[in-house]
Structure formats: C-alpha cells, structure tokens
Structure 1
C-alpha cells in the first residue's frame, strides 16, 4: 500500500511541476522562444514551433498525471523530456553559455555560474526520478484510468471468487 501512496505523491508532484512550468511558458510565449533560442541547439526554423508547442505538451502531461489517465505513458514521456532538458543544460554549461534555463518561464542570457547549472540539473534529476518511479509503479489512489488504479483487496478477492466459480461451473 505504501507504494501506491508514494506513487500518488509522485503523480501529483510531477503534475504540479508540469502545470506550473507549462502555464508560465504559455503566459509569455515570446520569452519561451528566447529561452529555446538561447540554448543554440535547434535549427532556427525549429525554434518557434518547439517553443510554442512545449508549454502545451507540459500542460497536457500535467493534466493527464493530475487526473490519473495514461500515467505510465505520461511518465515515460516525462522521463524523455527531462533527459532532454538535462542534456540541454549540460550542453549549455559545457559550451560556456551563460543562460537562464527557462524551465519555469523566463530564459535567455543571464549571469549564471556552475552552481546555478548544477542546481538546475539536480532539480531536473529529481523530477526525472519521480517520472521513473511512475514508469515502474503507475498505480495510485484517485486515478481515473483503470490501469492506473491500485487493486483493492476486495476487488482481488472478488476476482478470485469469480474465477473459482467459473472453474467449478465447467466441471
């Protein structure tokens, strides 16, 4: 039962991260474009489409996790996105760029040092760990998705009784 409770905390926590992050980026799309461009990783023709779609992907992931639908899929996508974010931050740091990550809005040129990048990477590793947990243990209370709900002992007992009745009726 503690696994399901921990999964609930991970699911709600990760949902909050995605919803806040997506909302702040959607509220200032021009700044999100600046943040994506500052990493100097995507071709210029990809910067605006990427920056404009990212907030809505984040909000969608947050909503799915919040209501408990497609939890494992949302968690896998979250792991991939956080891995990409971490790689982008490491890339910026290793190339000597001085930028704000833009993770929760903002972004672009900033006066940052190695400690700032280290904190951003550590934070994103924590978020990635939550997503990885949900990939392995997606079931939690208060989930709308049937595959995301924990099985109660009552439903397990009912299934066992139904299966034994079915076997007896065949004899």
Structure 2
C-alpha cells in the first residue's frame, strides 16, 4: 500500500548570526510530496510474539554474562578460566578471553534490540558451539574447573551445563526459523 501526502512548506528565511546587516538567504520549498510505503504487517502470530520475548531475554542474558566477565570478575580472571580448559596455549587463551566477552555483549545487545537479528543469531550460535566444545572437552577430561561462563569460581556441573547449552540451541533454532521465514526487505541487512 502506498499513500501520497501533499503539503505546502512555507518560505524559510535565514540570516547569518554575528554579522550585522549580513546577507539574508531565503529558501522556498513550495509543494512537497511524501510517499509512505507500508508492507501492512498482518497481526502478530503467536510464534512472532514468542520469538520477540525469547530474543529479548536471550540477548539480555548474553549481554549480561559477557558483562560479568568484563566488568565484574575481569578479563584477567577469565583468561585464567580459559587457560584451565587446556585447549588454548598462551597467548591464544588471552586472545580468546579478551575477545569472546565483547562478542557476547555486542551480539546480545543487538539481538535484544532487534538490530541485525540474523547476524546476532549466527554469532551467538557460534559462541554457544565454541563454549559447548570447550565444556565437552573439559567434561571428557574430568576437569574440576570453574566454567567461567558467568564469572563465578565454583566448579561446573557438566550435566546442567549440557542442558543449558541444549536450551540455547533450541531457542536459537526457533529464532532462526522465525527470522528466515520472514520476507526479507531490501533495507534489511542479515
């Protein structure tokens, strides 16, 4: 549906400030047309409402957990947590520890705010996959270490962590299904 609105814009006069008797400028815009294009969204489906709630909750959660690592326990402690997994040697443990939380924060905020939703879903799914590999490896080695996920120092409960990651993957799969079934507009990027 396209609507065309017509309205008159009055003549505008400008004078440069600070210059007494300075030059006057006038700008006459005349008749303006404003076109509004609407893709008349149908009423929200239950799946869309559920996706909105899950998207905001998951986004806020990832921004929060990333923020915990950066601002509460600190990146030095998170570097130790990453090193405890034994998957990355120095300096790569520090590189991972100093970058992953920022990806969590930015992707989480974008997901919660609805900015670059598809890209945010992909990034968070990648983060969860990386975290799952790390936790799976630690579990297979029977390591008694802190997860580092929320900045705590308590040893991780592997079965609870596996259930948590499973829930993340289910939510992300649902969000991806909702996002990719929508018709893409030319203004939408990812």
TM-score (norm 2): 0.67
Q: Which residue of 2 aligns with 1:126?
A: 167
Q: Which residue of 1 aligns with 2:177?
A: 136
Q: What number of residue pairs does the alignment pair up?
A: 137
Tell me which of the two structures has the higher relative contact order, counting C-alpha pairs closer than 8 angstroms and 6 or more residues apart. Answer: 1
Cα 1:42/1:73, change in 2 over 3 Å: same
Q: 1:35 maps to which residue?
A: 81
Q: Which 4+ runs in 1 deviate beyond 3 A? A: none
2-side partners of 1:122 and 1:33: how far apart? 25
Which residue, out of 70, 74, 80, partners 2:116? Answer: 70
2:65 maps to what in 1? 21
Unaligned runs of 5+ in 2: 1-44, 181-186
User: d(CA) in 1 for partners of 2:133 and 2:96?
Assistant: 16
Return the offset for 1:86. 1.2
Q: Retained in 2: the 8 A contact 1:100–1:106?
A: yes
User: Structure 2 CA distance, aligned partners of 1:35 and 1:106?
Assistant: 10
Residue equivalent to 1:3: 47
Larger radius of gyration: 2
TM superposition score normalised by structure 1: 0.74
Distance 1:84 1:56, change over 3 A: same
Q: 2:86 is paired with a residue of what secondary structure?
A: coil
CA distance in 2, matches of 1:6, 1:72: 16
- Matched residues in 1 for 2:48 and 2:87: separation? 39
For residue 143 of structure 2, give the secondary structure of its aligned residue in structure 1. coil
Q: Which has the higher helix share?
A: 1
Unmatched 5+ stretches in structure 1: 140-145, 149-171
Over aligned residues, Cα RMSD in angstroms?
Answer: 1.8
